[in-house]
Amino acid sequence: MNKKDYWAATFEDTLDLIARIPHIAAYVYRRKYKQGKALQPDGLLDWAGNFAHMLGYDDDQFKELMRLYMVIHADHEGGNVSAHTTHLVGSALSDPYLSYAAGMNGLAGPLHGLANQEVIKWIFEMQEELQTKEPTSEQIKEYVEKTLSSGKVVPGYGHAVLRKTDPRFTAQMDFGKNTCQTIPW
């Protein structure tokens, strides 16, 4: 195939990959938290609505939450490790699946995507040690101080302090305050 014709095959593979990712993510979620019972996609729903459906949430407000979530997370442009790596590998006219795999490998590092997992692990450890799912502000403060005094870091505080609040955070908070209280979790 001539290099100038790569775009058509690349475009087709990219669309296919984008369409499959929610199905894979929902399958993993359902396998882990819903006794392995996967739900089939609904071709009448949009991308985010279908993802919500495959997760097992058919509530319209949850579908709206997924639309916001997916749009916000699509806004990574190229400044972070995984997006930059995907772009870099793709710029060599690599197969989109290989570019995606490269980005996922970049996401696995403790200073990028693995950082989210470390935060969740730290929260679970705190809840276990405090023997409560809903610690008080004072309990959290004491646990943070204990973590720091033992020479460890509190995961999730590695990014530079921003002078302005990230508008994506504001959009999610506003949506949550206005909508999420009524979602049947």
User: Domain residues of the chain, as ranges?
Assistant: 3-109, 114-182
Residue-level pLDDT at 45:
94
Q: Supply the pLDDT for residue 159.
A: 55
Closest to 144 (Cα-Cα) out of 135, 154, 134, 136? 154
Q: What is the pLDDT of residue 178?
A: 84
Other beta carbons less than 10 A from residue 59's beta carbon: 13
Phi/psi class of residue 93: alpha, beta or left (left: φ > 0; alpha: ψ in -120 to 50)? left
* Cα dihedral 115→182→165→67 (10° resolution): 70
Looking at residue 167, its amino acid is P
Question: In Å, what is the CA distance from 158 to each residue of 18, 69, 118, 153?
Answer: 30, 22, 12, 9
The tokens describing 178, both together, are: 């206005």
Question: Looking at domain 3-109, which of 3.10.580.10, 3.40.50.970, 1.10.580.10, 3.30.300.30 is its CATH number?
Answer: 1.10.580.10
- Mean pLDDT for each 10-residue chunk of the chain (185 residues)? 88 91 93 90 93 93 89 73 89 92 86 77 94 93 94 73 72 83 66
Q: Residue 162: its pLDDT value, please?
A: 57
pLDDT attached to residue 144 = 93
Integer-rounded Cα radius of gyration of the chain: 20
